[in-house]
Amino acid sequence: MSSYENYTQKSRNYDKTREPVGTEISVGCFAHAPVPLDQMVVLDAGCGTGNYSQAMLGYVGRIEAVDMNPGMLEVAAQKLAGARDEGRISFQSAQIDELPFEDEHFDGVMINQVLHHLPDDAPKGFPVHRRVFAEFARVLKPGGVLVVNTCSQEQLRHGYWHYSLIPEAADALRARYVPLDELAEILIDSGFAYRGRFAPVDAAIQGESYFDPRGPLTKEWRDGDSVWSLVAEDRLNRALSRIQNLDERGELEAYMARNDALRPQIGQATILFASRE
């Protein structure tokens, strides 16, 4: 289970607002693998409802998708039933730090917006992250490509307008993300050559719905960002009242714009590119 989010409950609403942001960057990274892109066998680690798999199927040969949550896997398997019937994708229930694949099985691995769900311990040097990346190094062929789609501390501070409504939860979420320089070091320690990082600045993880200033008022919208699972009930009520008050005063759009001012320059997600030594 994610260490704080109930994805069995959220799986039905997840796709209503989520977009596979950064796919084109990941495709560019995968193109550096020793095999041609359209022949690559790729692991989608923590596939969720399969949004990134769906987008990536247009480029790579075959995908093996794993997730530990049965609700998310069920949505993914239904959505991609056609590709599964054609043998282009398979789904398995698995933990990403204990993968059911033999050594050197994959040409590429992608992990999209999953790492912050790991139950980890910063003072001990993020041992769970280290286990996950050791597992990725094990299942990748030499030269195989790893793409890690995550968020920088700056993106979490300034890339999500609604986090200003729920500052305690935003702080708690940020503490779950390994700072990117440290993440790059963990990759190197795990047997990867670190090759750079890229941020898609022109896309929002919740797509067009991100720009709905009244979005947080509905549970469906909130289900698209796990930060809301870190909000205490009294804080949630306070945030919702604040939106309503701003709206009544005709100031809601301006509030959103003010708190969204930096996002177009920094984006919401960063893709780290590494290859197995």
Ligand X SMILES: C[S@@+](CC[C@H](N)C(=O)[O-])C[C@H]1O[C@@H](n2cnc3c(N)ncnc32)[C@H](O)[C@@H]1O
Interface ranges with ligand X (CB under 6 A):
2, 7, 18, 46-48, 51-52, 67-69, 72, 95-96, 112-114, 117-118, 226
CB of 100 to ligand X, least distance (A): 11
Between CA 181 and CA 160 the distance in angstroms is: 21
**Closer Cβ to ligand X, 122 or 261, answer by number:** 122
- Phi-psi bin for 143: left (phi > 0), alpha (psi -120 to 50), beta? left
Residue 183 Cα to chain centre, angstroms: 15
- Which backbone phi and psi does 43 adopt, to 5 degrees? -90, 130
Residue 115 or 256: the one with the smaller Cβ distance to ligand X is: 115
Nearer to ligand X, 72 or 246 (CB): 72
Name the minimum Å distance from CB 44 to ligand X.
7
Asked if 3 and 173 count as a contact pair (C-beta separation under 8 A), the reply is: no
Q: How far is the CB of 52 from ligand X (least distance, A)?
A: 5
Tell me whether residue 170 or residue 246 sits nearer to ligand X (CB atom).
Answer: 170
Q: Where do the H-state alpha helices sit in the chain?
A: 7-17, 23-30, 51-56, 70-79, 81-85, 127-139, 153-158, 167-174, 180-189, 219-222, 233-248, 252-259, 263-266
**DSSP notation for 166-194:** -HHHHHHHHTTSPPHHHHHHHHHHTTEEE
The alpha-helical segments, DSSP class H, found in 2-104 are 7-17, 23-30, 51-56, 70-79, 81-85
Give strand pairing partners of 110. 44, 147
Q: 243 or 272, CB closer to ligand X?
A: 272
Least distance CB 184 / ligand X (angstroms): 20
- Tell me the CA distances in angstroms from 275 to 7, 87, 184, one per residue in order: 30, 26, 12
CB of 252 to ligand X, least distance (A): 27
Which H or E run includes 66?
A: strand 62-67
Q: How far is the CB of 34 from ligand X (least distance, A)?
A: 25
Least Å distance, CB 8 to ligand X, is 9
Closer by beta carbon to ligand X, 176 or else 255:
176
Residue at shortest CB range from ligand X: 48
Which residue lies nearer to ligand X by CB, 36 or 127? Answer: 127
